[in-house]
Structure 1
Amino acid sequence: MIRIMRAADWGEVSAIYQEGIDTGTASFRTPDISWENWDSSHLKACRFVACKGNEIIGWSALLPVSANYDIGRVGETEVYVKHGFKGQGMGSLLLDALVKESEKKGIWMLQAGIFLQNSAVLKIYERAGFRVVGYREKIGKAKGVWQDNLLMERRNKLIA
């Protein structure tokens, strides 16, 4: 089941987030982020969790790319699935929820930076209509290792 994320979910959400950061192939972000910092840096709309029973097994949200109004309607995706639940379609469901809600909210483009090693994630994004628009060599370090990634985007289908 996919539902809107609540502040009370942060304990489970942050554990899944940390798990993704610890892989070294999912995020350049630093660990130990507080709810307050995360909440203030992410768009208030487009925050979801995937649940199996009472357990949160994944989450998705959008970061604003810029505060500039002209490009302020561009969101950077974050999708994380708990270890042990990957490969079961949860990532696709969470990304689909982001796409649908972002289109309703008038966000005209979504973007994602995908680590090259993350071939399963690349496929999920391609199936959701994202396309590769760039290759960024050694864009940042994750766990002390320089990483390359692909820049992907998806345009809002509701905007002409």
Structure 2
Amino acid sequence: MKLIFISEENFSEVAKIYGEGLLTGIATFETTLPSWEKWDKGHLNFGRILAIEENKYLGWAALSPVSSRCVYGGVAEVSVYVSSTARGKGVGEFLLKNLIELSEENNIWTLQSGIFRENIASHKLHLKCGFREIGFKEKVGQLKGVWKDNVLLERRSKTVGI
């Protein structure tokens, strides 16, 4: 498995994998795929990775800013999506560990994630990669008319911001 950076040229593969995540009903509140322009604007330039193997796109991970306020410049939100054909094969762990490394190389001291309660695999993945559960938001939003809770997880760097 190797990594490439997400760009406009390979965004169609990112969107395809993201669409598979949308279909699960447990990955995001989003219900439509974003354009490249919208996706690009919402993610940090350095934290965008796509896992590939034998010319197959397996999954992607990216970082988003949590606030425009400078005090939160070292805090980012994590997104990890794995292709339906690659789930359960270590792709998520590969992506998340590499994303953590990239975040620390770019002075990010805290990573956070909000995961639907039903998304057990993502919850376990984050815990395995050093995140800790810090709480939850009850009925934080609706997806197709159903209220969803978000479990909140964070990972504090042991090397940046200490």
Length-normalised TM-score, structure 1: 0.96
* Deviations, residues 92-127 of structure 1 (Å, cap 9, x unaligned): 011111100001100110000011111111111001
Report the Cα distance in structure 2 between the residues aligned to 1:17 and 1:74, rounded to whole angstroms.
23
Please say if 1:126 is aligned against 2:131.
no
Aligned match of 1:83: 84
Runs of 4+ deviating beyond 4 Å: none
Report the Cα distance in structure 2 between the residues aligned to 1:88 and 1:158, rounded to whole angstroms.
29
1:24/1:143 contact within 8 Å kept: no
RMSD over equivalenced CA pairs, Å: 1.1
* Deviations, residues 57-83 of structure 1 (Å, cap 9, x unaligned): 100001100010001221100000010
Query: Which residues in structure 2 correspond to 1:3-152 (within 5 Å)?
Result: 3-152=4-153
2:64/2:77 contact within 8 Å kept: yes
Report the Cα distance in structure 1 between the residues aligned to 2:6 and 2:100, rounded to whole angstroms.
16
Sequence identity of aligned pairs in percent? Answer: 44
- Structure 1: gaps of 5 or more residues: none
Report the Cα distance in structure 2 between the residues aligned to 1:144 and 1:88, rounded to whole angstroms.
33
Aligned residues: 160
